Amino acid sequence: MVDADGRLPLPWLAAALDEALRTQRGHALLVHGPQGIGQFELGLTLAQSWLCEAAPVGAPLQPACGRCASCHLVQARSHPDLLVLLPEALRESLGWDTADEGDADKASKAKPSKELKVEAIRGAVAFAQTTSARGRGKVVLLHPAERMNGISANTLLKTLEEPPGAARFILSSGAPDGLLPTIRSRCQALALALPATDEATRWLAAHQVAQPEGLPPPAGAQPLQALEWARDGVDAVAWLRLPKQLAAGDAGGLAAWPLPRLLEALHKLCHDALCLACGAAPRYFPPAAMPPAMPLYGLMRWASALSTASRHGEHPWNQPVMVESLVQQAREALAPPRAGRSPSVHSAR
């Protein structure tokens, strides 16, 4: 959202924000683009701009001022005409964990949900049908919109088909194909492009991310994703060292990585190893960082084992034991083929 000095949270969103304010005329907007470039931040900034009270009612829409009473309420997460719907598992990381929601989550022993639940969607529908408290309309922001299950999506669809007069909906998504076609057809679409590399690099440098160009592509072009990797302890040096470290069976430092992050890294490494074994160029690691002579039969078994492990990546495993197991699997897959055994596709069957 726009801060008190009028600055955007992500500078590359300025053009998209201006376009949305200039062209958006419907009651629902779908903001979509690659993960890690700021769909949620743009949706929140757009909502703040719609609710901003700096300009008279009826004046051409402008980016939020960041200083009026309405903007301060948005910044404090307490605007009465703004409802932000997030899965429980994302509230804290996105800085939208209100006191009531936090107490409710702590009181429950259930694992935080990754879905936008139907109860929350029904609450949003009821919210949209009430009168605006400050006279600038009401806004509902859903992120990530593809996390609605079938019941939730159909509940929202009924409201999009017969929208309340003063309410607007913003659906933020990194995977719009995961939405019902009927929902997409009722939203005006705003596609976000990847930011320029130099702009993303400057932003990452300002957030103390060293050598973002050394992180896995396309992290350098998806700055929020690169920042997440850096905060999880994955820097460019650790990333480039990873293939040969695993080929040597060295688990040093990997136990500190969050398990879902480690599994993602292993999938990327396995992808590149399979590419090289089949004569294609790697995507995530430079060829010089990869171990030589990786057998195809072992890589195929490794890919299957990683798929199985990923389905349970957030299970409360014993982290050090799980990491040791994953490193051992990687070492066996990345080791040179044994004499007398052909690294063919048929030998993997």
Give the pLDDT confidence of 108-153 residue by residue, as tens digits. Answer: 556 788 899 999 999 999 999 999 999 999 999 999 999 999 999 9
Supply the mean pLDDT for the chain. Answer: 86
Q: Is the pLDDT of residue 213 over 50?
A: yes
Q: What is the pTM of this model?
A: 0.81
Give tens-digit pLDDT for 250-259: 998 898 888 8
Q: pLDDT (tens digit, 9 = 90+) per residue, 35-50?
A: 889 999 999 999 999 9
Q: How confident is the model at residue 182 (pLDDT cuts 50, 70, 90)?
A: very high
DSSP H or E run through 198? helix 197-206
* φ, ψ at 129 (rounded to 5°): -90, -5
Distance CA 274, CA 69 (A): 56
